[in-house]
Amino acid sequence: MSPSSISKQTITYAKAMRKDMTKGELKLWTELRKLKELGFHVRKQVPIGSYIADFVIMKERLVVEVDGSQHQEPKQVAHDKKRDEWLKSEGFKVLRFNAGEVDETLPGCVEEIMKELGEL
């Protein structure tokens, strides 16, 4: 997938989302930035195709999502499933955490990410 296949609208929306992250995203971003010390480049609010991933480690093809309560709605669950299937078809693995999980058990979320990266 070439960068040119990403619409200007998606790119503009991703830029806006970087400036308006949720509390859960901000909390996890603070921890994910520390992965740079281990050689991982984590990007936030990244356009991939027609989707925007909360966090991506491109070299590892890992997408990390922080889902708010709207992701429990049936329509959103179906959309997320379709999105995850497409990302998988593009060679990505998707880890999803709900915002409450990030808020209450941040170390556990980070541990799961670290395991996926082969660091634990």
Say how far apart CA 110 and CA 97 lie, in whole Å: 10
Q: Which residues contact 29 (CB under 8 A, 6 or more apart)?
A: 21, 44, 55
Assign 2 a pLDDT band (cuts: 50, 70, 90).
Answer: very low
At residue 2, φ and ψ (nearest 5 deg) are: -90, 155
Q: Is the pLDDT of residue 1 over 80?
A: no
Phi-psi region of 115 (alpha: psi -120 to 50; beta: other; left: phi over 0): alpha
71: number of Cβ within 10 Å: 15
User: Quick one: pLDDT at residue 69?
Assistant: 66
Answer with the residue of higher pLDDT: 5 or 100.
Answer: 100
Instruction: Give tens-digit pLDDT for 22-63.
Output: 999 999 999 999 999 999 999 999 999 989 999 999 999 999
Q: pTM for the whole thing?
A: 0.87
In this structure, whether the domain defined by 3-116 belongs to CATH 3.40.960.10 is answered with yes
**Single-letter amino acid, residue 37:** E
Assign 118 a pLDDT band (cuts: 50, 70, 90).
Answer: very high
Task: Pinpoint the alpha helices (H) of the chain.
Answer: 8-19, 23-32, 74-89, 99-104, 106-116
**Residue ranges per domain, the chain?**
3-116
Instruction: Give tens-digit pLDDT for 55-104.
Output: 999 999 999 999 876 767 788 789 899 999 999 999 999 999 999 999 99
Say how far apart CA 56 and CA 70 lie, in whole Å: 21
